[in-house]
Amino acid sequence: MNTEERQRLKTNELGQTVQVVGHRLEEHATKIVAGICGLLLVAAAVTWWSRQSSATSIKAWTRLESAENEKDFGEVADDFKGTVAGRWARLRESELYLQSGLPLLFTDRESALTDLKKAREGFAAAAVNSPPEPAIQERALWGLAQTLEATSDGDTTKAVDAYERLLKELPDTFYKSAATQRIAALKTGGAKDFYEWFAKQNPKPTEARPKDGLKGDLDSMLPPASPSDNPIDLKPNPPNSDAPAGEGAAGDGKDDAKTEPGEPKPEAKPEEPSKPDEKPAEAAPQKKPEESPDKETDKQE
């Protein structure tokens, strides 16, 4: 077989192949076009979602950075659920409620339990590690254990379980030593008795006193003072001061006894300031007694 025949056979084979492929394309053209369109739509959707997700993530982190209080962090957590920024916001919200609730247990138990309930619910939500973020999970489990301990009524089982969960899920946690100590302490009878007694206490804001170490306007929390509680000025007048006429001597208590505590005292007349270096006035020379007219007449005679 010469070269021309071989080339002719190859050309015929290629033509037959093209014809077969063409027939098949014609038969499945609709399906092929639909498949290509589907792939394009999926690619477009992925691109759009990626861009939207990036924009949402940027917005979430921006709002998280500007949040300042429990309300701000709670709104970020609600608006961006399922994101890392949203979990951080829920964690920070819970930590702030815990920080405000613990001191209130000694001054306002009702408000304290309200804050600690919000803290417990927030920590429980943030402890779910989805999307994965070990730092959030670690702090959330620690906060949850602390909240359960503070609100226990003598039954410390839930608090112990929370501390043990932290050690189980995160064996190398930063809180390993502290959690181990709390577990050992909560299993003792003394801790159970204390929390059972503490749960029965019900302090209220009106019972607060300055010795409680509270910040703020403590005068508004104290009962009004009676007139007898007002201080009385018992300081004596200066030794060299001249008391106005008609008033008692300094420190004799006569005028103070007549004046009711809290009533304004009559204003004293301003005294001229004494000059410290002024010398005492010299006594004026005595005048000679004038002679009577009869004596003068005798002298003239």
Answering whether pTM is above 0.85, one says no
pLDDT, position 50: 56
Q: How confident is the prediction for the chain on average, in pLDDT? A: 74
Q: Please, are residues 116 and 97 in contact by the beta-carbon 8 Å criterion? A: yes
Show me where the domains of the chain are located: 9-66, 70-209
* Residue 243 predicted with pLDDT over 50: no
Q: According to CATH, what is the number of the domain 70-209?
A: 1.25.40
Q: How far is CA 269 from CA 132, 153, 241, 242, 284, in A?
A: 81, 68, 13, 11, 30
21-42 core/surface letters (b: 16 or more CB in 10 A; e: else):
eeeeeeeeeeeeeeeeeeeeee
pLDDT, position 290: 53
pLDDT, position 136: 96
Cα dihedral 84, 90, 92, 93 in deg (nearest 10): 160
> Residue 13: pLDDT band by 50, 70, 90 thresholds?
low
pLDDT, position 209: 52
Q: Of 125-139, 157-171, 234-248, 285-299, which range is least confident?
A: 234-248
* Residue 97 predicted with pLDDT over 90: yes
Amino acid code (one letter) for 7: Q
Q: What distance lies between CA 13 and its chain's CA centroid?
A: 84
Query: Distance between CA 49 and CA 28 in Å, rounded?
Result: 32
Q: How far apart are the first and last CA of the chain?
A: 202
pLDDT, position 295: 47
* Residue 46 predicted with pLDDT over 80: no
Q: How many CA atoms lie within 13 A of 267 on its CB side?
A: 2
> Residue 90: pLDDT band by 50, 70, 90 thresholds?
very high
Query: Distance between CA 285 and CA 201 in Å, rounded?
Result: 87
Q: How far is CA 147 from CA 119, 143, 156, 157, 296, in A?
A: 7, 6, 11, 13, 116
Cα dihedral 59, 64, 65, 70 in deg (nearest 10): 150
pLDDT, position 157: 95
Query: Distance between CA 282 and CA 36 in Å, rounded?
Result: 127
pLDDT (tens digit per residue) in 187-233: 988 999 999 999 999 998 875 555 545 444 434 433 443 334 444 34
Average pLDDT of span 259-274: 52
Encoding tokens for residue 19? 């014809």
Q: Of 92-101, 173-182, 203-212, 230-239, which range is least confident?
A: 230-239
Which residues have a Cβ under 8 Å from the Cβ of 24 and sit 6 or more positions away? none
Encoding tokens for residue 207? 């019972």
Amino acid code (one letter) for 74: G
> Which of 48-52, 131-135, 215-219, 273-277 shows the highest mean pLDDT?
131-135
Looking at per-residue pLDDT, the higher value among 222 and 10 belongs to 10
> Residue 35: pLDDT band by 50, 70, 90 thresholds?
confident
* Residue 117 predicted with pLDDT over 90: yes
Average pLDDT of span 106-133: 93
Q: Of 123-127, 139-143, 249-253, which range is least confident?
A: 249-253
pLDDT, position 189: 87
